[in-house]
Amino acid sequence: MTTEPELNTLLANEIPSFLAYLRVEKSASPLTLIGYQTDLDQYLDFLAGFHGLEKTALSVSAVTNLSAREYIVQMFNHDLSRATIARKMAALRSFVKYLCRENLLAGNPITNVSTPRQEKRLPRFLYPMEMRMLIAAPDTKSPSGLRDKAILETLYAAGVRVSELVGINIDDLDCKEGWIMIMGKGRKQRMAPMGAKCKRAIAAYLDKGRPVLLSRSSQNTPALFLNKSGGRLTARSIRNILNKYVEQLAIHQKVTPHTLRHTFATHLLNNGADLRSVQELLGHVKLSTTQIYTHVTKDRLKTIHEENHPRR
């Protein structure tokens, strides 16, 4: 016997349960949970205005096809990018599916609501010469310089996300064989090759850099990359470190840790790596996520043709 959905259940009360579900069942990262929390809080703000109710008075029945469409319209009116709208709608869709799963909604009211098609943006990347200059920028006479060089080498050699980089522990390294065990999205593990130059940079940091940084802390942290106080570096700290060297070199484009991940993938493909291998190295679940880099290589081929063909 199927029980009737409890349409009077308050929406705000279900968000903590939904986030707990994501954390336990889907192994969602802390950053993902914070993002979903923020997006759903903003959706409730809209919904309260749309229905003329307090946020705390909104029941699950307030989630309708019409309100979802109007939510998209409002986001467009506030000049949010298509990527941001798509992300917020993904959070909402996931939440509504959870409500259906918990039998709080009889059917999914937003199934037929279309998410705006996103613009296809080619990933930014650095050219090999720029990458060599960036990696050579840290002063390796200091502990922090040894650390920074090892960080840059790891980002470029392993193509890791910044969240993955700061999560690396000493025990994740196999320096003899040249591998790093990476904990990726959804708690999925993969092995990333260091490469000879990255291996040497990490070895130098472990020998003369990390012990000095660790001595400044009263705790023996397992983290590979340490801050000036001997604690684990944060993603923000990595971005600040990268920004320092980008400004120092006067590289005239925005460079983030993810730019180095794009650079890693682009350089592999430009030098003949196959798409499936790059997909595995990046830790992408879907090949379509990796395929954006083929556009970069096609653009490069077109440029080479235009610059070198006698009848261009």
| 239 in catalytic set | no
Annotated catalytic residue: which of 161, 199, 210, 262? 161
CA within 13 Å, CB half, 54: 3
Determine which helix (DSSP H) or strand (DSSP E) holds 292, and give its type and residue range: helix 292-308
Q: Are 150 and 225 in contact (CB under 8 A)?
A: yes
Core vs surface per residue 133-158: b (16+ CB within 10 A) or e: ebbebbebeebbebbbbbbbbbbbbb
Q: What residue type is assigned to position 251 of the chain?
A: I
User: Among residues 147, 261, 262, 267, which one is catalytic?
Assistant: 261
| 284 has catalytic annotation | yes
Task: State yes or no: is 51 an active-site residue.
Answer: no
Q: How many Cβ atoms from other residues are within 10 Å of residue 283's Cβ?
A: 20
Residue 97 buriedness (CB in 10 A; 0-12 / 13-18 / 19+): middle
The verdict on whether 311 is a catalytic residue reads no
Decide if 300 is catalytic. no
| Candidates 23, 208, 239, 258; catalytic one | 258
* Active-site entry in 97, 185, 200, 239: 185
Is 293 labeled as catalytic in the residue annotation? yes
- List the catalytic residues: 161, 185, 258, 261, 284, 293
